Amino acid sequence: MYQFLIKIFLAFNKLFDQPPHPFNMDLSKLSYTDYEISKAPDLFDKYNRFGDFIKLIKGKKVADFACGGAGKSIYLAQNGAAEIVGVDIDKNFINEANQKAKDYKVNDKCKFILASANKTPLESNYFDFVIFNDAMEHIPDTEGSIREAIRVLKPNGKIYINFEAYYFFYGHHMMDALPIPWLHLFTTESFRINLYKEAIKNFENAQMRLDYRCSLDKNGKLHMSYLNYITISKFEKIISKLENEGLLSVKHRYYSKFNNRFFKLLATLPILREVFLSTLYFVLEKNK
């Protein structure tokens, strides 16, 4: 019965268009860092509703938490940031990021180090900005990472955050092979992992894809370690807690919606907004 369900879902999967994803691109010609650089202008343009972001970072010190391949950081270095330090727990990303900084001749302004966003070796009260780009849903300790960002920021320093919460359209984060929308709303994590393994089994980089998303827990069971299952309401509670402690202030918040008119309507409802909102954008300011 289980294998029959797998086959049914794989057949259902074929009904949906495959969205662009770097895992499905020819990365022999385009590295992940290069891919991120190509996407950086569109991302930072989204921040312009809060002021011209590129102008704001000119001559400033920026920390990039969970930087990945650090393409966004390199782009900021190319566009006037005085100093960029990125941290990530993936050594392959960090190695690639440091090499690409040399290739793009911004290594005098960029440094990328292997560290958790929850505990970095960065100096306190040093940075003007901390950015979390498509990262908040992946960091195990959301609150801890924001507290760490507050620690390394100067007074009145800013934290820029964008991410999709867990119940987002593609919140299962398997869309490189499983473009079924909201797949995680009606399947278990165990089923999704097995479905994903079946969907990618003939790909040359199948093991890389699986290792990127999954790992063994303390009981030896494969689980989705790539996600922390953060929801909109959980994130808002964390921000409210830090506000009540006097650590930060929310300067801006924006919840983007899907273009579909019906989805926009559903997104106005208290519970359904978790499912029908798109990307969350926050600008937080460290209090003095």
List, for residues 230-255, the tens digit of each pLDDT value: 999 999 999 999 999 999 999 999 99
In the predicted structure, residue 71 carries a pLDDT above the cut 70: yes
Q: What is the mean pLDDT of residues 48-54?
A: 94
- Per the DSSP assignment, residues forming a β-bridge with 248 are 286
Confidence bin at 31 (pLDDT 50/70/90): confident
Q: Is this prediction's pTM over 0.75?
A: yes
Structural element, H or E, at residue 145: helix 142-152
| Rounded distance between C-alpha atoms, residue 45 and residue 281, angstroms | 12
Q: Residues 99-125: what's their mean pLDDT?
A: 96
Contact 87, 117 (CB under 8 A): yes
CB 65 within 8 A of CB 87: yes
Residue 19 has pLDDT above 90, yes or no: no
Cα–Cα distances (Å) from 87 to 50, 114, 187, 284, in that order, read 25, 6, 33, 20
pLDDT at 29: 60
Residue 205 has pLDDT above 80, yes or no: yes
Instruction: Look up the CATH number of domain 32-167+228-286.
Output: 3.40.50.150
**For position 28, what pLDDT does the model report?**
54
List, by residue range, all CATH 3.40.50.150 domains of the chain.
32-167+228-286
Question: CB-side exposure of 176: number of CA atoms within 13 Å?
Answer: 18
Q: What is the pLDDT of residue 204?
A: 87
Q: Please give the DSSP secondary-structure letter assigned to residue 91.
A: H
Q: What is the predicted pLDDT for the residue at 60? A: 98
Q: 1 pLDDT band (50/70/90 cuts)?
A: confident
For the cut 80, the answer to whether the pLDDT of residue 275 exceeds it is yes
Q: Report the distance separating Cα 178 and Cα 176, nearest Å.
A: 6
Please give the backbone phi and psi of residue 152, each rounded to the nearest 5 degrees, phi first.
-85, -10
Percent of the chain with pLDDT over 90: 88
Q: What pLDDT is stored for residue 244 in this prediction?
A: 97
Average confidence (pLDDT) over 191-219: 93
Q: Which residue, 189, 187, 184, 186, is CA-closest to 172?
A: 184
Q: Tokens 């929310």, residue?
A: 250
